């Protein structure tokens, strides 16, 4: 998922570089719209909004960065009112399996509750926890673990 | 081998009686009986001579030799026995079948116990295996038993003989005629393929139970039937399921609005206890398999999971972060009388009550390492048995003397993990790899096979 994200971001950046000076002045955000990314699509959400937020060790509260990302997600979801999403909650590998399933569920609900507070109807937001079963980054160090303690909003 | 035919065990009347009466007729001595004190912890394994269970020849001879090997390997793996090299044996299986052991010869080899046996196939195609056990130092016959079964079940017969020897010499029930269900792992770490698999306790007769299309976790055996409860992400909806080993039939358990996980059977096999997570809160529930009634046992805010019944079904141990960090608690079967069990530094999870009732095994996470430990149900006597970068998920052998768990090492970038199964004595001695054809996690030990 992360690889895909990076690849798409790279495409967006490349598109921005190759566009005319006038277009480039609009910034990378709109640059992506000049590629094949369709507004309102899952790709649009990943590239132009940001699909994930990260959590502290054994935490499920939202950092200011996470809130900023979720504010953009809420805005996008208001624009595309028929879209439903699934929030996937994940944990790093440094916990027992069952506890991490519960922790992932907590994290997914933190995201869902924040989106709800921003006006997104809860029945548009499904949650699922993968615990430590689906790391985004493979590795046994804090750099990997901090990327794996995450909530990922997936367009259905 | 999806359907495991029920083994017909028969104590052969005539032979058994004859052998047992021989035992009674043997001269009684005042010395203490040969016995391994397994509560003592690390001690010298008992040297035991196991001769070939060779029959009269042909197919029986080969099967007899194979049976001896399985018995010998079982006893050796327990860490309590040291089977001696058969090349040093001075008395042949034939001589032992027809006559008395030459105790002096066996003593000279260092043997303290001697096992001889015989394998024959009857006109009906059934196999008959008998064995005799002697105390070499005392020059005394100890036990003789006879079993018959279909030849396909030869490994089970060998395990049953090993269990009988283990029991006679330790005073504890054996655990060799058992199976392990576990999660077989393959593929890259970020999209790990996980499937249920089952094998004998000695890794033989391996088979996959699910195809790996769906993520599955934490299988646990029924104490009373050929069924497993586990968690599956079928249709991306994580729920607790029941799997029938004989028929392959799977069914979702209960009708819960949120994710259900961490299932275990009650000791009578009539209920499954599990967790349900909903709206960021995880509580413990039971589902009665006969009435399908769901009962909520905990309602504290926070994570209550990992429930496991005491063998009498009266108490439940579970993990909860209600006190701030993940710790172990016990409560009555109705959810009342909650008591905190662990107060140690670190986080405690995956509690599982011993089938003997005397201990609770757990996973402890402290600093940068994980450990497998045991504690008494009253919260005293906490002991760590093994510690590593990552160990998790203990499961008890049915005699409550041995634990199995999984262990893996740090994964480098882009490399998969490498979880493997291990067993360890509750004294902390005799930690060993349990081989599996692919990587393995979440082991669950079966009861003795009925």
* Number of domains composing chain A: 2
| H-assigned helices in B51-117 | 59-77, 93-98, 103-108
Q: Which of B440, B420, B362, B383 is closest to B198 using CA atoms?
A: B440
- Alpha-carbon distance values, B282 to A43, B221, B232, B355 (Å): 33, 23, 18, 26
Q: Does A105 touch chain B (CB under 8 A)?
A: yes
Q: How far is CA B142 from the centre of its chain?
A: 26
Residues A103 and A137 occupy one common structural domain: yes
Residues A54 and A100 in one domain: yes
Counted across chains A and B, CB pairs separated by less than 8 A come out at: 101
- Residue the block writes with tokens 């933190």: A110
How many angstroms away from the CA of B338 is the closest CA of chain A? 19
pLDDT at B9: 32
* Domain ranges, residue A1: 1-47
Distance CA B11, CA B328 (A): 45
Judge: A99–B326 Cβ closer than 8 Å, yes or no: yes
Q: What is the β-pairing status of strands B420-425 and B432-434? A: antiparallel
* pLDDT at residue number B388: 95
Percent of chain A as helix, strand, coil, to the nearest 5: 55, 15, 35
pLDDT bin (cut points 50, 70, 90) of residue A2 is very low
- Tens digits of residue pLDDT in B328-353: 999 999 999 999 999 989 999 999 99
A90 and A152, same structural domain?
yes
B189 contacts in chain A (CB < 8 Å): 135, 138
Q: Is the pLDDT of residue B382 over 50?
A: yes
Tell me, yes or no, whether A29 and A94 share the same domain: no
| Same domain (yes/no): A32, A13 | yes
Question: How high is the pLDDT of residue A28?
Answer: 40
Q: Is there a single domain that holds both residue A60 and residue A80? A: yes
| pLDDT of the residue at B59 | 76
Mean pLDDT of A105-124: 98
Q: Give the residue from B259, B348, B351 with the most A CB atoms within 10 Å of its CB, the best one to mutate.
A: B259
Contact in structure between B119 and B128 (CB atoms under 8 Å)? yes
pLDDT at position B192: 92
Percentage of the residues of chain B whose pLDDT score is greater than 90: 80
Is residue A55 domain-shared with residue A129, that is, in the same domain? yes
pLDDT in tens, B389-413: 999 999 999 999 999 999 998 765 5
Per-residue confidence (pLDDT) for residue B151, from 0 to 100:
92
pLDDT of residue B6: 32
CA distance B128 to B11: 10
- A116 CB near a chain B CB, below 8 Å? no
Whether the CB-CB separation of B163 and B174 falls below 8 Å is answered with yes
Average pLDDT value for chain B: 90
Domains of chain B: 13-29+46-170 (3.40.50.10070), 179-445 (2.120.10.30)
Q: Looking at per-residue confidence, does B2 or B428 come out higher?
A: B428
Euclidean distance between CA atoms B2 and A132, whole angstroms: 31
Q: Are residues A112 and A145 in the same domain?
A: yes
Among candidate residues B398, B6, B7, B8, the one with its CA nearest the CA of residue B166? B398
Residues A128 and A144 in one domain: yes
A138 and A79, same structural domain?
A: yes
Q: Please, which residues bridge with residue B337 across strands?
A: none
Residues of chain A contacting B278 with CB distance shorter than 8 Å? 105
* CB-CB neighbors (< 8 A) of A133 in chain B: 192, 194, 215, 217
Tens digits of per-residue pLDDT, B414-431?
555 689 999 999 999 999
Specify the pLDDT at position A7.
40
- Is the same domain home to A82 and A133? yes
pLDDT band of residue B170 (cuts 50, 70, 90) is very high
Cα–Cα distance between B30 and B203 in angstroms, integer?
Answer: 42
Residue A41 and residue A57 share a domain:
no
Beta carbons of B189 and A138 less than 8 Å apart: yes
Looking at residue A79, its pLDDT comes to: 97
Candidates B190, B217, B389; nearest CB to A138: B190
Q: Report the alpha-carbon distance of residue B422 to residue B388 in Å, rounded.
A: 12
Question: How far lies B22's CA from each of A138, B16, B93, B143, in Å?
Answer: 65, 10, 19, 9
Task: Give the pLDDT confidence of B439-448 residue by residue, as tens digits.
Answer: 999 999 999 9
Q: Percent of chain A beyond pLDDT 90? A: 75
pTM: 0.88
């Amino acid at each position: 998922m992360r690889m895909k994200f990076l690849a798409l971001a790279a495409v967006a950046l490349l598109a921005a570089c190759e566009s005319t000076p006038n277009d480039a002045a609009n910034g990378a955000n709109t640059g992506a719209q000049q590629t094949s990314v369709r507004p309102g699509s899952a790709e649009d959400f990943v590239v132009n909004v940001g699909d994930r937020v990260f959590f502290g060790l054994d935490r499920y509260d939202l950092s200011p960065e996470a809130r900023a990302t979720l504010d953009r997600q809420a805005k996008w979801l208001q624009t595309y009112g028929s879209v439903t999403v699934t929030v996937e909650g994940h944990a790093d590998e440094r916990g027992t399996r069952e506890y991490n399933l519960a922790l992932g569920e907590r994290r997914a609900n933190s995201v869902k509750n924040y989106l709800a507070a921003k006006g997104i109807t809860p029945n548009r937001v499904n949650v699922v926890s993968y615990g430590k079963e689906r790391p985004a980054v493979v590795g046994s160090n804090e750099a990997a673990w901090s990327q794996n303690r995450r909530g990922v909003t997936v367009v259905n | 081998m999806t359907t495991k035919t029920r083994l017909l065990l028969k104590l052969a009347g005539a032979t058994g009686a004859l052998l047992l009466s021989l035992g009674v007729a043997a001269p009684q001595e005042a010395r203490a009986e040969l016995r391994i004190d397994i509560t003592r912890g690390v001690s010298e394994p008992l040297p035991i001579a196991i001769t070939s269970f060779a029959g009269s020849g042909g197919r029986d001879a080969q099967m007899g030799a194979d049976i001896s090997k399985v018995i010998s390997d079982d006893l050796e793996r327990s860490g309590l026995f040291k089977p001696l090299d058969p090349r040093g044996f001075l008395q042949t299986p034939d001589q032992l079948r027809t006559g008395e052991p030459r105790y002096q010869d066996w003593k000279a080899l260092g043997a303290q116990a001697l096992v001889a046996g015989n394998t024959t196939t009857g006109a009906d195609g059934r196999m008959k295996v008998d064995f005799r056990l002697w105390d070499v130092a005392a020059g005394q016959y100890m036990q003789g038993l006879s079993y018959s079964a279909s030849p396909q079940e030869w490994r089970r017969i060998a395990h049953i003989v090993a269990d009988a020897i283990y029991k006679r010499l330790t005073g504890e029930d054996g655990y060799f005629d058992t199976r392990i269900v576990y999660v077989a792992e393959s593929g890259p770490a970020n999209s790990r393929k996980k499937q249920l698999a089952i094998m004998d306790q000695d890794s033989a007769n391996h088979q996959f139970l699910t195809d790996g299309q769906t993520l599955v976790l934490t299988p646990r055996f029924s104490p009373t039937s050929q069924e497993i409860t586990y968690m599956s992400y079928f249709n991306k909806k994580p729920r607790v399921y029941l799997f029938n080993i004989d028929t392959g039939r799977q069914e979702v358990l209960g009708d819960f609005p949120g994710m259900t996980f961490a299932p275990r059977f009650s000791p009578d096999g009539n209920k499954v206890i599990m967790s349900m997570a909903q709206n960021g809160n995880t509580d413990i529930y039971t589902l009665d398999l006969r009435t399908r009634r769901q009962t909520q046992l905990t309602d504290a805010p926070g994570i209550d999971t990992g429930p496991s019944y005491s063998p009498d079904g009266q108490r439940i141990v579970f993990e909860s972060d209600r006190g701030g960090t993940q710790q172990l608690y016990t409560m009555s079967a109705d959810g009342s009388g909650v008591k905190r069990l662990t107060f140690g530094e670190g986080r405690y999870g995956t509690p599982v009550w011993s089938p003997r009732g005397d201990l609770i095994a757990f996973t402890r996470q402290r600093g940068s390492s994980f450990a497998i430990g045991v504690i008494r149900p009253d919260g005293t006597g906490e002991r760590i048995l093994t510690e590593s970068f990552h160990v998790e998920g203990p499961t008890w052998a049915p005699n409550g003397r041995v634990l199995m768990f999984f262990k893996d090492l740090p994964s480098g970038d882009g490399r998969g993990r490498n979880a493997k199964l291990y067993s360890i004595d509750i004294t902390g001695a005799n930690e060993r790899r349990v081989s599996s054809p692919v990587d393995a996690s979440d082991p669950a030990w079966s009861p003795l096979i009925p």
